[in-house]
């Protein structure tokens, strides 16, 4: 059993942390990248969206591959691909070469994410809800470090060091995971009809699209807040800290998610998203101290909601073979739609950040109505 090794769960959490580092380490590098390649700042949203496209498009292939060769092999494939492309990003000769490398980093991320949750389910199936909470908390630690740690380092060592160090960290975590978990479950009797049934499950689509606005907000806000903070005369290092506090606050959210799941998670999620969306729309009018509370609130709420969402999907299907596929599907839905949001945000910013924040907050709330279309008994399997 994969869980027989006591380092199995810690190695997954470490790989999740360094995986997350490569999501958000680009945030403090956006301005230096635009200057280095002499492209308008608004173009930097293309690099963010390119990563998301790679991560979104390949979620489903990753889930299908996992159902054939097992979660462990698929996750390792993703980590090694992510590491190689992140390291190569440091040597990009042009902006569009960097965009291409970020796309491949996203592909690697796609092959790792849902399959790592499947590994946790193989190790500790009775504790999967709590494991997902800790898994997301690990992501938040890495995401916060990607912004906070590199904000003061990039002016000293340059943005290329950012990608090089992050890629090496992922490579080390991949080796640790491979050595810690010697083998994983491999399934036989592959049936494409089961794949199709899950790909067209109406519940997964409604849940994924219903919460895509929150997902997009949670990704875009930390990426752009450092640049916004500097624009409104917040010290750049403090602005980076403020952007990084969003995922850091999510550490608490990931831990709380395991207790909140006993209530009606969808109703609670919708109410919280409305509050957060309204606050983000009002960012230009919120004073400095108030911004701290808004950013902490976003990180806390987003991680709670996303952890609940993944747990719903993990428990919805009794056949663990398809867990990576189901989670990959909801990720593909949200990343595929959400990939457009940073690019749209960046181009709206041409007219001022106030319009960008309004768009982001409004979009986060605008997709929630789809949750009303879920079956009334949808939550019966979820802690009921």
Using one digit for the tens of pLDDT, what is the confidence trace for 290-342?
999 999 999 888 888 887 888 788 777 777 677 778 888 888 899 888 888 98
Whole-number Å distance between alpha carbons of 245 and 264: 28
The pLDDT of residue 186: 59
What pLDDT shows up at residue 166?
A: 93
The helix (run of H) or strand (run of E) holding residue 66 is helix 59-69
pLDDT digits (tens, 9 = 90+) for 65-79: 887 888 889 999 999
Give the tens place of pLDDT for each residue, 222-250.
Answer: 888 988 998 899 998 898 889 888 888 88
Query: In the structure, what pLDDT confidence band is assigned to residue 94 with cuts at 50, 70 and 90?
Result: very high
When comparing pLDDT for 376 and 186, which is higher?
Answer: 376
In the predicted structure, residue 109 carries a pLDDT above the cut 80? yes
Q: What percent of the chain has pLDDT over 90?
A: 39
3-class secondary structure per residue, 235-273: CHHHHHHHHHHHHHHHHHHHHHHHHHCCCCHHHHHHHHH
Distance CA 314, CA 341 (A): 27
Q: What's the whole-number mean pLDDT along residues 330-356?
A: 88
pTM: 0.76
Task: Give the residue-averaged pLDDT of 130-140.
Answer: 82
The structural domains of the chain, ordered by start, are: 2-182+189-381 (1.20.1250.20)
- Quick one: pLDDT at residue 15? 94
* Nearest CA-CA partner of 122 in 175, 64, 189, 182: 182
Mean pLDDT value across the chain: 85
Res 283: pLDDT: 95
Residues 26, 102 contacting (CB under 8 angstroms): yes
Q: What is the dihedral of CA 80, 65, 314, 259, to 10 degrees?
A: 0
Instruction: Pick 259 or 32 by higher pLDDT.
Output: 32
- pLDDT tens digits, residue range 186-222? 555 556 777 788 888 898 999 999 999 999 998 899 8
pLDDT (0 to 100) of residue 384: 43
The fraction of the chain above a pLDDT of 70, given in percent, is 91
**d(C-alpha 170, C-alpha 151), whole Å:** 19
Predicted local confidence at residue 36, as pLDDT = 92
Question: What is the distance, to the nearest Å, from the Cα of residue 57 to the centroid of all Cα atoms in its chain?
Answer: 14
């Amino acid at each position: 059993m994969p869980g027989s090794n006591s380092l199995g769960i810690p190695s997954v959490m470490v790989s999740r942390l360094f995986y997350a580092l490569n999501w958000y380490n680009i945030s403090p590098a956006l301005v230096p990248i635009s200057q280095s390649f002499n492209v308008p700042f608004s173009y930097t949203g293309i690099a963010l969206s390119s990563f998301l496209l790679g991560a979104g498009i390949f979620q489903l292939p990753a889930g299908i591959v996992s159902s054939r060769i097992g979660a462990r092999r698929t996750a390792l494939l993703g980590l090694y691909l992510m590491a190689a492309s992140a390291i190569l990003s440091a040597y990009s000769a042009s902006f569009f070469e960097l965009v291409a490398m970020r796309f491949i980093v996203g592909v690697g991320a796609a092959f790792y994410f849902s399959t790592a949750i499947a590994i946790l389910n193989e190790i500790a199936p009775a504790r999967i809800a709590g494991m997902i909470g800790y898994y997301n908390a690990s992501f938040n630690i890495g995401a916060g470090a990607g912004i906070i740690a590199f904000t003061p380092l990039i002016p000293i060592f340059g943005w290329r060091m950012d990608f090089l160090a992050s890629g090496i960290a992922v490579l080390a975590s991949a080796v640790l995971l491979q050595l810690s978990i010697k083998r994983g479950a491999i399934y036989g009797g592959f049936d494409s009809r089961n794949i199709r049934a899950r790909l067209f499950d109406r519940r997964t689509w409604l849940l994924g699209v219903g919460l895509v606005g929150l997902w997009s907000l949670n990704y875009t806000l930390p990426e752009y807040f450092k640049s916004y903070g500097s624009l409104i005369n917040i010290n750049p290092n403090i602005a980076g800290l403020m952007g990084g506090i969003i995922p850091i606050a999510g550490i608490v959210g990931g831990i709380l998610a395991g207790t909140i799941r006993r209530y009606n998670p969808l109703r609670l999620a919708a109410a919280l998203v409305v509050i957060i969306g309204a606050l983000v729309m009002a960012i230009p009018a919120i004073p400095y101290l108030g911004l701290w509370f808004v950013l902490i609130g976003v990180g806390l709420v987003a991680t709670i909601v996303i952890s609940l969402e993944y747990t719903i999907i993990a428990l919805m299907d009794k056949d663990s073979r398809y867990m990576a596929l189901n989670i990959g599907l909801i990720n593909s839905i949200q990343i595929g739609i959400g990939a457009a949001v940073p690019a749209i945000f960046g181009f709206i910013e041409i007219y001022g950040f106030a319009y960008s924040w309004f768009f982001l907050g409004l979009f986060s709330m605008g997709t929630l109505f789809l949750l009303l279309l879920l079956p009334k008994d949808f939550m019966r399997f979820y802690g009921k």
